[in-house]
Structure 1
């Protein structure tokens, strides 16, 4: 048994005084100043170049972080510990924001025009997709120190070496990044496990890949094609098999409508063994069987879909739309494949985000300067938050999900 340590009366008195002094010098931290990072998220406020940091349980804005530059097409990723937001600005700015203090810890202007990025599987690297100059730049995610610069060069129809815009950049398992080249019609993969990046090219995937996605298990990378019907699929378990075309005929014999806003494939909906995707230039959501990637359904909707997003339990798919039909969100039941609710969150609905288990959906309406929070079971409006030109909504549970 251990022995009890004896303190003489004088020492006991001194110890008690010291403890009281220590407690007197401490100030209690207000309970409302403490937030677990898993309860946090951000909303991009594009007009003011700011982020609104939000609490998803209390459904309120905690604070705003300003000085982030041009956020007209901004996206956000989160560090492995979900404490830091990495913000990719349209002006080429890459900014690291501490969600707990509301401070910018690091910021670099890494290009002239960028379109998003990704964080590696181990959390150590952040990659940025650039329009100008076309390519991918990779940084240390903690310090934003440069690690690699990979130009997206290819030979054009005149044999000249030129650069392509990079789109659809995602993280993939095994510390890889995958992206598409808009003008070149290629997919490329970067392996970051060696001393230098190893780049693998997959040419001739189709006309003008405009965006891409990776499945939640990290196996399939799919690029949407703007110049033709169909999508290009790369199986990352077997990249040696090359790229396969899927859904090549979904619009055969039909005239495409004018496209006012490109669909976004990130956040695609998975429901059981089916993938739900926006059709380019059509008022339809496409449903594909993920066993053979055949088209198994076409669901008429309100307008041209932009985001087609699955509630985490996969029972519902929420869809927003391009101009001029962008004041509506429709909810589809994945079992019946029917639209079960049409919501009106405000003017110019740009983005939606589910809380981690899907009980609530947050919807941004840019031109109404409003964020609306819905109960996804009853469709009741739970909160309306004032926000200046809100667009992208990102919650920290994305830190632990592939491709998000």
Structure 2
């Protein structure tokens, strides 16, 4: 029997209220062929959620192909022999239509969704098999979006140790516990999975929301925070994915809600830093049990008409802004948040004084979430790609002035380097003509010194260094793609491993140590 998670309406009559007149028949088709796996309200069950926000990465033509042809290595069957082309088109349009009223996901739903195949203490506390033979801090975790799998690589041998199926559409980089044993994944449709790297097992899962953006793990490994677009909230779990708290995405006065766009671990501050999509605020949520209460100057006890102090532990300390910041970079101390609005206006916000302290010259649409930093002429600089303009912006972090605007082949998404490398690597994957080329930038001269183009016409992006800075792995982001190993100094290809649209690779050491050459 297919399990439908609590909180999902089962009545087919409810679906008919969601249909636009042009989609007559689609709700009935969905109820007959899809609801048993994807939930009667399209919130997901055995299969992923089928909501517009959950399908942002899936093109409409690919949705049609999936319904018609099925999806290999999953339980998604092919309906091409059962449904007409018109029916398939109608279903595809239906799943991209909004659900009204908006679906909800309560604390009871979160708790009821939790799965624990291997309870804490049930697996060996030592690395097993091929993992025991590898450098535990030079392992890579690779997210393969083509067929929704994850691979574990031995970074010294440049070999795949293990490959396993993941939840649908993992989003945001996986996050590691400080000992390197566990990694947490967040899927687009809200599932958080805890994977034991030492034993190569998924040990616990929970559905934190309906549409999640990313997750963060505290520096002590005790807490996991999840940012949700739908419902708009921040959900906090303990390390075993047991629910601790849900924080609604509302402003200080409690009258306007927001989607939560991101959450990051600020390790030196023992806190999570939270971005809001729709409100001009930044939150800092301390996970230090000894955190002192704070006073934000607002009236909390409305009956008594007086402001009261807020407990410091697991409560948002809000910083108000002039406009929402859509993307973040952090200084190494995490005292300053460097953010940009969708209009390209950059701001530096100090979390101690809780206000902006500088403006940045960042035209276009900078992607600060992929920013990196390094020392140049005795000054620390931060560099960012741009999703709209063909440039990399370099900014001095002492005076927050632009040092250089480096021309690139096209708008790019990822920028990567390493403490032991003189080079930074940037893609142009947002460009229709140059998405197949990586450019290599000298971090001192700020000049492009090389281009790497292994497969003309195929998307080539997302570099990650090994822990020693000896080589990089770049993604050939195609269905029948590859992980391409390149010498970090000569830029020559060393080796390839086949992979299905590898969208990201993450080195344990670089991530756990918060390398200046990778995003945090």
Q: Please state which band the TM-score falls in when normalised by the shorter chain.
A: 0.7 to 0.9
Please name the residue that 1:335 is paired with: 444
Contact 2:338 2:348 in 1 (8 A): yes
Please name the residue that 1:243 is paired with: 356
Please state whether the residue corresponding to 2:251 is helix, strand or coil: strand
- TM-score after normalising by structure 2: 0.64
Unaligned runs of 5+ in 1: 1-28
| Correspondences of 1:105-144 after superposition (within 5 Å) | 105-141=203-239, 143-144=240-241
| Correspondences of 1:375-390 after superposition (within 5 Å) | 375-390=487-502
Contact 1:312 1:354 in 2 (8 A): no
1:268 maps to 2:383:
no
Going from structure 1 to structure 2, the CA distance change for 1:242 and 1:283 (only over 3 Å counts) comes to same
Unaligned runs of 5+ in 2: 1-127, 290-310
Please state whether the residue corresponding to 1:193 is helix, strand or coil: coil
Partner residue of 2:196 out of 95, 98, 116: 98
Point out the more displaced range, 267-276 or 278-287. Answer: 267-276
Please name the residue that 1:147 is paired with: 244
In the alignment, the residues of structure 1 paired with residue 394 and residue 230 of structure 2 have an alpha-carbon distance, to the nearest angstrom, of 34
In the alignment, the residues of structure 2 paired with residue 60 and residue 190 of structure 1 have an alpha-carbon distance, to the nearest angstrom, of 39
Indicate the structure with greater helix content: 2
1:75 maps to 2:173:
yes
In the alignment, the residues of structure 2 paired with residue 185 and residue 82 of structure 1 have an alpha-carbon distance, to the nearest angstrom, of 35
1:192 maps to 2:304:
no
1:84 maps to 2:201:
no
Please name the residue that 1:39 is paired with: 138
Please state whether the residue corresponding to 2:490 is helix, strand or coil: coil
Partner residue of 2:409 out of 302, 311, 315: 302
Going from structure 1 to structure 2, the CA distance change for 1:264 and 1:46 (only over 3 Å counts) comes to farther
Going from structure 1 to structure 2, the CA distance change for 1:89 and 1:323 (only over 3 Å counts) comes to farther
Q: CA deviation at 1:313?
A: 2.6
Contact 2:350 2:356 in 1 (8 A): yes
In the alignment, the residues of structure 1 paired with residue 484 and residue 241 of structure 2 have an alpha-carbon distance, to the nearest angstrom, of 34
Q: CA deviation at 1:241?
A: 4.8
In the alignment, the residues of structure 2 paired with residue 116 and residue 31 of structure 1 have an alpha-carbon distance, to the nearest angstrom, of 29
Q: CA deviation at 1:340?
A: 0.6
Please state whether the residue corresponding to 1:163 is helix, strand or coil: coil
Across the two proteins, how many residue pairs are aligned to each other?
359
- TM-score after normalising by structure 1: 0.82
Please state whether the residue corresponding to 1:180 is helix, strand or coil: strand
In the alignment, the residues of structure 1 paired with residue 439 and residue 362 of structure 2 have an alpha-carbon distance, to the nearest angstrom, of 22
Going from structure 1 to structure 2, the CA distance change for 1:205 and 1:172 (only over 3 Å counts) comes to farther
1:288 maps to 2:395:
yes
Going from structure 1 to structure 2, the CA distance change for 1:171 and 1:110 (only over 3 Å counts) comes to same
Please name the residue that 1:364 is paired with: 475
Q: CA deviation at 1:395?
A: 1.1
Please name the residue that 1:234 is paired with: 349
In the alignment, the residues of structure 1 paired with residue 174 and residue 282 of structure 2 have an alpha-carbon distance, to the nearest angstrom, of 23
Q: CA deviation at 1:32?
A: 8.0
In the alignment, the residues of structure 2 paired with residue 61 and residue 301 of structure 1 have an alpha-carbon distance, to the nearest angstrom, of 33
Going from structure 1 to structure 2, the CA distance change for 1:365 and 1:110 (only over 3 Å counts) comes to same
Please name the residue that 2:339 is paired with: 223
In the alignment, the residues of structure 1 paired with residue 211 and residue 410 of structure 2 have an alpha-carbon distance, to the nearest angstrom, of 29
1:169 maps to 2:238:
no
Going from structure 1 to structure 2, the CA distance change for 1:281 and 1:64 (only over 3 Å counts) comes to same
Please state whether the residue corresponding to 1:173 is helix, strand or coil: helix
Going from structure 1 to structure 2, the CA distance change for 1:30 and 1:118 (only over 3 Å counts) comes to closer
C-alpha distance after superposition, 1:328-350 (max 9, x if no partner): 11110011111011112442234
In the alignment, the residues of structure 1 paired with residue 131 and residue 208 of structure 2 have an alpha-carbon distance, to the nearest angstrom, of 37
Going from structure 1 to structure 2, the CA distance change for 1:101 and 1:121 (only over 3 Å counts) comes to closer
Partner residue of 1:58 out of 136, 152, 157: 157
In the alignment, the residues of structure 2 paired with residue 83 and residue 33 of structure 1 have an alpha-carbon distance, to the nearest angstrom, of 12
In the alignment, the residues of structure 1 paired with residue 131 and residue 187 of structure 2 have an alpha-carbon distance, to the nearest angstrom, of 30
Could you list the structure 1 runs, at least 4 aligned residues long, displaced by more than 6 angstroms after superposition: 29-32
Indicate the structure with greater strand content: 1
